[in-house]
Structure 1
Amino acid sequence: MNDRVNKLRDVTINLGHGGGGRAMRDLIEDVFVAAFDNPALAALEDQAVFPLAELARHGDRLAFTTDSYVVDPLFFPGGDIGALAVSGTVNDLAMSGARPLFLSCGMVIEEGLAVDTLRRVAASMQRVAIEAGVSIVTGDTKVVERGSADKLFINTAGIGIVPAGVNISARRAQVGDAVIVNGFLGDHGVAILIARQQLALQADVASDCGPLGSLVATMLGACDDIHCMRDATRGGMATVLNEFAVSSGVAIHIRETAIPVRDEVRGACEILGLDPLYLANEGKLIALVPARCAQRLLAAMRRHPAGRDAAIIGEVVALPAGIVVLQTEFGGQRIVDMLVGEQLPRIC
């Protein structure tokens, strides 16, 4: 690998770095191959190839997902666009119960971006990839003219393997299921507001950005029949619960007093007229599980670093089908609708 580094002499990205020639090769080798450092990527083929027999050792179905990241700013309390890109794709795979294995990385870079910024992002991606137990094995680099993008956009796709017998789907909610969240809601949304200097808070609120594959493996070890699971990103927990209720034809009742929200996040929402139930998260999942294993699962989650603040916040009932109802702290009830529009643009 040493012969690949220190080839890039430029301080900023120029159009030549996307032109397919030597400048582009130097950028890829010096920044991306050096950072991600694995045999599949180092071959620098147009694709990564893996033996099917090796994949089949992990399960009997392939999970595949892709997502794009345009967060503004690139760096924020608790994370950055690189950590977000890896965590988000790993988490999308994990929500099916899959073991995430391999990611691709597509970079759309604006002319003039500092090379050191790109190195910092790549290093962050590799740090989270190592934490999540995945490899970034293939990718693509495009450079656009100054003003044609906003610094850096990233697309990541990922594949993972679903273990035999695991069947997690938004259509599997059943009456009596417990609703579990793995921790405080809304941290990411408020962290982005702070980073944009749109909110003058004295408190230190950091994004919850992080991979959840290990937590999901722990959860499956405690309850092998998780019915529904999804990470609460754009649209927040309220949107996820509405998706479950509509897909399964059930109602979901949640208790406001049981929902974990930091005082700082709640205060920010009150000032800005936002609802923490709709704020984006980047390290939070919502699971619907049979009541018989809810307490055992909760205890297992709380022993994991990503689930130490997990809570049971509600239950699935029969009627009114397709509706989410919040029991307020004052004893009343209100319907929690699907998010309409966008509370905060470019949140991820």
Structure 2
Amino acid sequence: MKIAVDAMGGDNAPQVVVEGIEKARDEWSDLEFTLYGKESEIKKYLKDDKNIKIVHTDEQILGTDEPVRAIRSKKNASMVLAAKSVKDGENDALFSLGNTGALLAAGIFVVGRIKQVARPALMPTLPATNSTRGVNMLDVGANAEAKPAYLQQWAIMGSIYAHDVKKIDNPRVALLNNGAEYDKGDKLHKETYQLLKETKGINFIGNLESNNILAGKADVIVTDGFTGNAALKATEGTATILLKQLKDALLNNGIFTKMGAAIVSPSLKGMKKMFDTSQAGGAVLLGLKSPVIKAHGAADSRTVYYTVKQIYDMLSNDTINKANKYFEQMDQEEK
């Protein structure tokens, strides 16, 4: 199994990329990596080049670049070369910590989408209060507008992913809506509800309100990209503020409060661990011909390692082809 890596993407590249890749390489000997980027910079941190090849390029896509224009104009950028290698069959998957919009564009225009999937969707893994495996939500920003058929396709792919990668036997799929009742929402959500209810092969459990996104009531949450992105950022922002306020309250209010903080410290570590999403890996761009994964730009080497594990599981379980076969069967049944 071969993974193409945009080694120059992210805030701390290529150091954290190389460190995470080497750890993953040592864990799974059947993985091979091609790192695209500045060879001299990569070699500063590379301790052992076993199963690791470097393709040198001085060009890279910056966070300030306009995504589609950058993909089309920077033909020798590390991300573009990595994507092209997947398209040409030289590598099996693409991984980057770089510009999210550019990676979406590279995935869609270079790697290419599954024929039966109208729009690929971006799917991260979020923490859940009663589940160590978290919850997958899609779409969170690849498509601002959607149709019921898009959400149906995302529900199918998200369910297959949760089964293969998260090892959940019968993943619970929910539709993010403004109420739990079946007739809630606008035309899009009402039609999507009925469509998901009739979709074979998924365990659709109905509507889910946004206050239950992290409650562990579903394994896969489906929504349009506009709503998903807004819900994701609101959830992340609230969690960040609450953790910061809690820390300030415990450490900046006198000696007795600090003593109390020491007593509850083990419980607080458990809370911190819940919100540590590094083990969840990156966000998957589902609907493409090959796995394309985006990790956060500020990710550390642990996140890189777990993202490789994520890709490894997708490749080992042939997740993309399972989605392909599902949609092909749907087409045949409709005919």
TM-score between both structures, scaled by the size of structure 2: 0.23
**Structure number with higher helix proportion:** 2
**Structure number with higher strand proportion:** 1
